[in-house]
Structure 1
């Protein structure tokens, strides 16, 4: 069903705007208007622009109530795109809206279509977060940070060390939602490998990353070998077909996150590179690091800008 009340607000920013001078490797891309929190990024097949969800990411049609701070305070009404990714073959843009469910936007743009708002047992999603699309099959993988708490209660979930998060699969062919993993402690991000053999899932609260095998001899099993390599991991993004991934990380102090960094790992969890971001982002809740065309795009949950680093 196509929503006639809400539209997904996605900012198309020109990649050419990230122009670097000779003496810097960092640029800020301010979020237009009174919005904040460019949390996650998706790059279309043209290579001309990227998309990011911000506060008030689902806005009321013909209304300004979802602008600025109201878009954050009224997230349960306005929505909050937390994870976004393109199907590279169809051009469809999938959106995990934290309080409002799973959506898809056609390549033509316009109104978003809600495709799932509850699990197979009919229980509504409480707090969706990460999302990725299998580049080989088009199957969508997405997470719920918690099945007990909503986005406005995120610090409660963290403080209580909630472990009700889940990993889901949505198959566009059958339109079915399947639960793949349960009992996750703050399932924040997910990323499918370039060959579609596994999906990585971050547990923000537990400072852990798990691997769920999609196919091969270990299909349907969970690999725990990524335990405790990265502090409070958020979104995970694969780096093309290299087999590597970028992970956004902070040191969580429940209320005030510290030492934000972008950590590059290989498919076995080995840390390849760490970029410390405190000088440019302060102690902010870093949400994603996403590499594209020699640049690293870095987002935050609440900040008013996206950061772009020249690699």
Structure 2
């Protein structure tokens, strides 16, 4: 039995067509074998899926409901499901490293990306985060994505088109530098959220501040602690943002087999840091942070003194040090 691909319904949200109902020709289907191994295929009339243990016909799946099983010629049974967005992201073609689903979910949630929002994203990479943002803003929002490399932008567009079935109407991809291109793409104070996935996001804070509406959220995804520190200090020095907050997420799966319930040996550890801050209203300065000044080393890049507190260490009072030194002297004399 073969079924023609369903045309995109203009009354249906982009990407919703084909997310339910029977499998259609041209759809991607994820097959899971008895050992939990995954295979993703694109259904085609008359085609076959081969492994070293027999083959199965695509025609046996076309027209079947989502969540069906199919048995190949060797008697191996496969579970067939439509891939979720997280499944698709991890298996799609990529030119650049993708933002993992665990981080994309954090970005959408903690940046509070809402339906109808205007979001600016830089850079696009392979389009993984772009698809989550498009899902969140819907057809009536806007996602302005900026990517310096044309080849990355091409891959991202193709991946999104494959997943949604059409070019998403809310998405604009600009090949170019964010600092140069953003003022031409949006009016000042009209952007609700900005997501930066780039090497030096601190270089873009001025143009981002101009684009963000008061209360708008800036969230940056960076790989190293050095980048994290630079973003935080640049946001504080700018004066137009709230005190930044930073975190990372670590996801550990669990093995579930009878009474053998334990953490899996492998986990999704460090992928990146997230740091977020919000735009203050024009002319408003953030409340002065009460920091205890102290002597320390000098940052050669800025010439400013570094203190133990800068690295999260608790300060040690001179009085305590003198008391400890006196105690040690008395012990040595006795």
What's the TM-score, normalizing by structure 2?
A: 0.27
Q: Higher RCO, 1 or 2 (CA under 8 Å, sep at least 6)?
A: 1
Structure number having the greater helix percentage: 2
When the two structures are superposed, what TM-score results if normalisation uses the length of structure 1?
Answer: 0.29
Whichever structure has more strand as a proportion of its residues is: 1
